Structure 1
């Protein structure tokens, strides 16, 4: 039987919170071009990595707005910085949880797991997201890579989070719906659970996650069976 991780870390966007409303709002700004949404998400991740690789840091939502302007410009869609930032920031902060999330987190909390939200979003952003989604009281801590100065999946972000929680890497489990987040965590020495939200896949060149599930309830149902010894 598997032993219990000391801390469960949860990615926020898409893992816990449903991105449907964000996608609808962004699509509207892009003149209904739903086909551009995957390109925007990919460009957002690309430039968050570019920012960290260059030794810089910027608010993730502002990178999202900047990359949205890039995608719009490349497709002859006029979009101002003010409008892009307002929509991305407001939409991210008003996301709703996936249907099973509250019950799954409650089950884990009642089983005495330490629960930590760990996001590429800002400190202010994650606090607003958890408050607006009604999840704040289910977490022991809300952590942002802003305090680490590096975005996930850079190893420094996971190292900082483990040190902040005063645990060793192999005592941490990352629960995420993004193959890159699961890969980054495992390469940093963490355990991982992958949630296969629609459109998400594990990275084939990374180790397979310890847990593969289609939603957070399935993850919780398995983790509560882990040995406490």
Structure 2
């Protein structure tokens, strides 16, 4: 890894907590917080499954569309019928997801000379809105969406797309994510990979190991800032 890097941050489930919508979901769906937590977990699983499925089929729908479809599946699974307005209220909560650790670690990484980019499955409008609402727009240098290539992670084209935004070779670009498949995908595509192992998951088993494993963004800043 170079002294300073282009750090490409995954957003959903990595920098931002998708499950911070749980209280809104519980209130709107009229279920307990415990049930809403289960619903949120299933929702995320189906988002990711749908994104990989459409990519394997050679198709593309926006992350917003797949998020809506995954939400509909979860509602059907639990037998919950919401009005259009209620569904919209929950979906709008996705524009206000909370940062897991706040801005401070990213400020430190930027001050150390690293270039900070979002590299996400989200479509541009979602990412721009979320970054603005969470204050993340103040620390990043740019946003790269999979919409540019019409495929979702971990397709190699997604990671190669950072090259159209920065004047750096692949070996000076690093994917930073909580999902092991995202880090493995970046390593397969020629980028470096850093795993934020917040959940203490086992190592990946396909041979594309991260260059660095840390438990948090604060720990990452301690290592490379």
Deviations 1:99-127 (A, max 9, x none): 3x411111111111111111111111111
**Are residues 110 and 209 of structure 1, via their aligned partners in 2, closer, same or farther at CA, if it must alter by over 3 Å?**
same
Residue in structure 1 matched with residue 94 of structure 2 by the alignment: 92
Paired residue secondary structure (2:69): helix
Q: Distance in 1 between matches of 2:198 and 2:114?
A: 23
Q: Distance in 2 between matches of 1:77 and 1:175?
A: 36
Write out aligned runs for 1:97-176 (5 A).
Answer: 97-99=99-101, 101-176=102-177
Q: Distance in 2 between matches of 1:81 and 1:21?
A: 21
Query: Which runs of no fewer than 5 residues in structure 1 stay unpaired?
Result: 225-229
Paired residue secondary structure (1:45): helix
Residue in structure 1 matched with residue 73 of structure 2 by the alignment: 70
**TM-superposed deviation, 1:185:** 0.8
**TM-superposed deviation, 1:97:** 1.6
**TM-superposed deviation, 1:215:** 0.8
- 2:146/2:158 contact within 8 Å kept: yes
- 1:178/1:202 contact within 8 Å kept: no
TM-score for the superposition, normalised by structure 2: 0.87
Residue in structure 2 matched with residue 227 of structure 1 by the alignment: none
Worse-matched range after superposition: 209-218 or 50-59: 50-59
Q: Distance in 1 between matches of 2:198 and 2:213?
A: 11
Residue in structure 1 matched with residue 48 of structure 2 by the alignment: 45
**TM-superposed deviation, 1:139:** 1.1
**TM-superposed deviation, 1:21:** 2.1
**TM-superposed deviation, 1:167:** 2.9
Residue in structure 1 matched with residue 60 of structure 2 by the alignment: 57
**TM-superposed deviation, 1:179:** 1.1
- 2:19/2:40 contact within 8 Å kept: no
How many aligned residue pairs are there? 221
Q: Distance in 2 between matches of 1:79 and 1:176?
A: 33
Residue in structure 2 matched with residue 11 of structure 1 by the alignment: 10
- 1:66/1:81 contact within 8 Å kept: no
**Are residues 183 and 138 of structure 1, via their aligned partners in 2, closer, same or farther at CA, if it must alter by over 3 Å?**
same
Deviations 1:141-196 (A, max 9, x none): 11111122111111111111233323332221011111111111111111111112
**TM-superposed deviation, 1:134:** 1.0
Q: Distance in 1 between matches of 2:155 and 2:83?
A: 31
**TM-superposed deviation, 1:199:** 7.1
- 2:10/2:176 contact within 8 Å kept: yes
